[in-house]
Structure 1
Amino acid sequence: MNRSTISVLALGLAAILFLSVNIFASNSLRSARLDLTENGLYTLSAGSKRILGEIPEPIRLRFYFSEKLAIQLPNIKSYGLRVRELLEEYVNLSGGKVHLEVIDPEPFTEAEDDAVRLGVQAVPLGTGDSIYFGLVATNTIDDRQVVPFFSREKEAFLEYDLTRMLFNLSDPKKPVVGLISGLQMNPDASPMMRFSGGPQPWAIIGAIRDTFALRTLNANQGIIPPGIDILLITHPLGLDEHALYAIDQFVLAGGRALVFVDPYSEVTARAQRGKGQQGAALASSTLDKLLNTWGVSVPTDHVIGDFDASQQVNAGQGGQTRVVRYLVWLQLAAGNLNPDDVVTADLGPLIMANAGTVKTLPDTGIKVTPLISTGTQAMAMETNLIRFGPAPDRLLKLFKPDGERHTIAARLSGNAKSAFPDGPPKDQNGKVAEKRKAAHMKDSSGPISVIVVADSDLLHDQFWLRKRNLMGQEMIVPIAANADFVVNALDNLSGSSDLIGLRSRGKSTRPFVVVETMRRAAEQKFLAEERKLKESLEESKKRIAELESRAQASGGGLLTPQQQHEIQSVRSQVSQTRKQLRDVQHNLNREIDGLESRLKFANVGLMPLAVALIAAVLALFGLRRRRRGADANAARS
């Protein structure tokens, strides 16, 4: 058998083997996955897998995606593929409980009508068409969860949002929030009281009730009733040992808590003014006996001032009103919020007053994750400075930023110990029931889940909304995202421990970090020169205006030959400076374009050239080997 016959047979066998492997893989390895992305973008976390394994009944997913129209939008097309592949991963791991339908809602079809009816958002393209990119999930009793439109800005939380949706549909009852409050939030105000001008519930109560069942608790009864999923503790005042013990045991047993303590509650202080020391004492709240065992403390002797985040207020003195910065009234924007936690990611600004700081204690084993922080232009200021009323000028005089970022709100997780190591507190007879002794927990049953906020004023209407009257109807207009923060926190805490454990994942779009660094370096190179030219340009313009105003002042507006010559000279300078400025900007653009061209060549051209070079070297090596073999055969013959 000659070489050519062997080569043909080898190629035939290779083709058969290739087809066989593909057929085998497509049938036998359909669910096999190999995720080589840096952040495991296509691999579900262990928490999501556990939630999928506990789904009790089938869930139907309808993924509405205008695939044909998305061809015009590469960014949406690639993200649509990412979402679809992740949804398919949910289906593969659900054990048949999750079913996926992919629907392209073309214009004027029943599919488009269904998408709109179910709450999927149509986004106009400007060509007369609308693109759909959303998800509708339903269970067997027609509960429905909807993602109106998948935003790439929220890609880091894609797995969390999808897993949360499935979790809600597998357990559709409203989570129960137990409220323990020292604030007059009036959650139990009756409709009759509202119509008769009685105390109204704070608007935050309505925002919570939209998503949760809310029950007011009397913690001093020493028990948290069964059925409470989350404790909402706001400005706790007068809690006795039995109340603290009940909260302690609730959290150790796996209950979740959202806690708002306050070194100086503006709302309470205002209500208690004129009531002396007893009234002033109600302005501060603490829960440090419990917080200390949870790894943090919130001191009541100081509040946080932040120059960059401070709000401007009207201050009056001597009959005059002026606008000044009030360092302890804060408007905290994106730079103050943790972008990697689902509670604070994508939140709008938050408004707080007289907030404190959440301090991490050493050696507790509790993980403290900041959610809300000040900037570096901040410092702790004595609470006594504001105890007798706002003092913006005095605070500004004493302000010396310490360069630190102070934590205002934090997530606490980890195994905790009881704040009552010796067991339950004794009753009024100095005894402890044997049943309570036996049920006492010294350590948590698993990692605790608590969020602590060192401010309670953010809950009051004054600090996050304005009320408007529209055609006889009262409208609530939010001016800050305070309510969103509270609902986000409760929503996150109400999930399973697997869901709470999910964090932001990476994004499929990879930023060109090196490119951006080089681009910034190129910009820096020309920035100083550009600044000098702009300053020179402004000075020349001022000089022209000055000469012209002098001519006007000297009468008649006529310029002397000397003035005309000087103005002409300055105008020439202006023209020359503008040309130099254009040259600088042109050089900057050319530098950046050159950088991009070099990188494109390195990525697009250099690698093929390297492969071609390696192939040429291998071919040359093979040719030489064949020649040596031919020469050897010739010599033998």
Structure 2
Amino acid sequence: MSAFPALVRREWRAYWRTPLALVYVVIFLLLSNSFVFYLGDLFEAGQAGMQSYFRLLPWVCLLLVPALSMRAWSEEFRSGTIELLDALPVPPWQTVLAKFAAAWGVAVSALLLSFPLWLSLSWLGDPDHGVIALGYVGAAAMLAAMLAIGLCLSALSENQLVVYILSALLILLYLLAGYPLALNPVRELFPQSVVDLIASLSMLTHLQSVTRGVLDLRDLLYFAITAAFWLGANVLLLQARKGGLPLWKRAALLPLAAVASVVCYLALAFAVQTLLPPLRVDLTENRLFSLSEGSRRIIAATREPVTLTLYYSEKEARPYPQFRQYADRVSEKIGEYAAQSGGRIRFEAVDPEPYSAAEDRAIGKGILAIPLEDGSGPLYFGLTADSGGRNQSIGFIKPEAEQHLEYELSKLIQSVQRQERPKVVLVSDLPVSGEGNPLQGGSSPAWVVYRQLSERYQLSHLSPQGLRIPEDTDVLWIMHPRQWPAETLARIRDFVESGGHAVLLLDPDAESVPGFRLGSPVPADLYLGSDFGGLLRRWGIGFDPGQVVLDSKYAWLMQLDENQFPKRNPGLISLPAEAMNQRDPVTADLDRIVLSGAGALSVLDDSPLRIEPLLQSSDSSRLIAADAYRQAAADPERLLNRFVSAQEPFVLAARFSRDKPAAGGAGINLIVIADTDFLSDRLWVVENNLFGQPVFSAQASNGDFFFNAIDQLSGSDDLISIRSRGSVSRPFDKVDRIRRAAEQAYRESQTRLLAELDTVQAGINGLQVDGRIPENRLNDADYRALAADKVRLRQELRRIQRELNADVERLGQRVKAVNIFGMPLLLLAIAAVLAWRRRNQKDFSRIGHGAL
């Protein structure tokens, strides 16, 4: 191996003596960063992550890697220097590895020189550095496999254009191997095992697995095996062409060697993907893909054996790679549970083929039959848990909800262990339960939060009229009390003060009150504010039903009219993680919670309770009368005009508690949320359609927040630690601050200009007669001056509106320019300086020799 370093240095210098390496690096940086900003919309997406970069990187490499590798052997054969290499006392495999190491060094150098993008994201927000670092590792491994392919094909021909085209086509096949459209022709000619083998060779699939933040040994072995195979093939080709002779003169044994090599490569790749157990390292900041401590405690607490049965239609899922790949990950995750359980959790996989007994069992256990778009048989993809004669199921496992997979599995195991589900009783006259609403008679569908909560708990909806709270109630859910009978309030008081757990939702502006329509006048006899009698005063809880919290910092952007710019509604508050109590498991690690027309909570001076805030507004907040807030519904942004902050945050949700008195009695554990609308569907879920089935995607953490509260009050602390481990939003904080500052400046200018415009309009109105300007006054100097001022002010209003996001746009342009052109220009400048110095040194040497 003593000659190997010298060979590597020779090849490395060969790349940098010519412009090839520099041109490759510069074009790579220009293309990759241009792609991520203009095709991946990195800046516009506003998320501090490089997923879009690594998603587009393979297509940049498809264009450039063949260009980097095409001359490796073609130039040696064309120039005849291959004979010099053959004369060296080194085996061919060392020469191949030297060329590969040098080319990979150039490619990885270009990749690492994209680090300014990483720095930019760190400056703009708070990226997950572990995920980004692992993405670079996966990209470097992919480059190794691509370069090995290019080097091997470079030994086929002296024509570099032919080599480039062949390399690009073969790499393209590797990239497309996992796409359904590319696999359909193969599926028609070969059995499914061959199709699965080809699909497992997709570079995109393995790169995406790495770039999500999980280092799987199987993915790295795939790239290593692929690179080793093509490097080995390269050695065989060189031996076939040894001495510079044409390939066909030494091809007698080549077909046999090629077939044997391909068979070994495919067999090894298949064995790695199917037989090797998953060995993973989760590098995400919150360990999103590892079993949490909560799951481990739930596993340890299993008293009776649990059998998890995955019903998965393997044949029907073949045309849908997203299901096949996700089914593998579900199986692996269940396998982790089984491995941790010491034999208490068993895993079975069943394919419910059409008209089989397995299909009948799946249907009987609540597994949903999903019709497919191509009209083929139904797809089953659900999970059941059986323990001690009890059965629970997940009717359909949604691939788009993978971040909640661990929670769903742990919840399934825990629920099947319980003899009875916890009992939650809802007391409200709001139409939360749809058909189950005792006052509305099923006039509206149940809210998503009610449907999801009823899947885990014994949930019932009782009318506040003649309320009887069942004795076995675990959690009492009190929602928007208003003008309730004294007997009802007394029973609620007795339940809470006897140690019962309760969650209380109050609201100064409940939009879901029957008879109220958003944006319409409020009937005089309709009360939108909560009224809890004297109970709040008795417990020392402060809440004013006539005051709504406005927050200029966390105001949510909303578009009332598609022809208008989005406007911020300070009463529609989008709370980020920093506004949540990260020390409380109910709100820890949640992403974003949206409230509408929320009130403020406090603890009175003589209160016997402790207050622990869960949600708070920013210090750029104020209170406003609920009536005034409702009157501004058509143009909520005007609430920000002349906005005067109270310079302190308001408590929007809190835990009120009291320990058990020493003299006897019970403690109090009460969670109070000063908004009811945050549970309405419009604020946190979006309905989509998947194979004809409605699928609700959470757009905010409203549901998680409320479920956490119910889980904790019912004694399920372990589930709380799992629920909060979903995807985390990583916004561009600097962009958000600039945008808010610009909006504040815009509002101040708008207020000033509107006041001037009102003055001008008043002057014009003073010149009118019967609502019109007399013709003899149209040329009056005063009127012309007022009219000109009106036009000027309106133009100024339009100008500042256009420039509202100018600072953000300028920042985006600077970030794009620095990342796209900064490093390439720096490299070109360094290359120019080095070339100038080299030239001066040659001139100096020539002058010196002439003087001698």
TM-score (norm 1): 0.48
Higher share of residues assigned strand: 1
TM-score (norm 2): 0.38
Question: Whose RCO is larger (CA < 8 A, sep 6+)?
Answer: 1
Higher share of residues assigned helix: 2
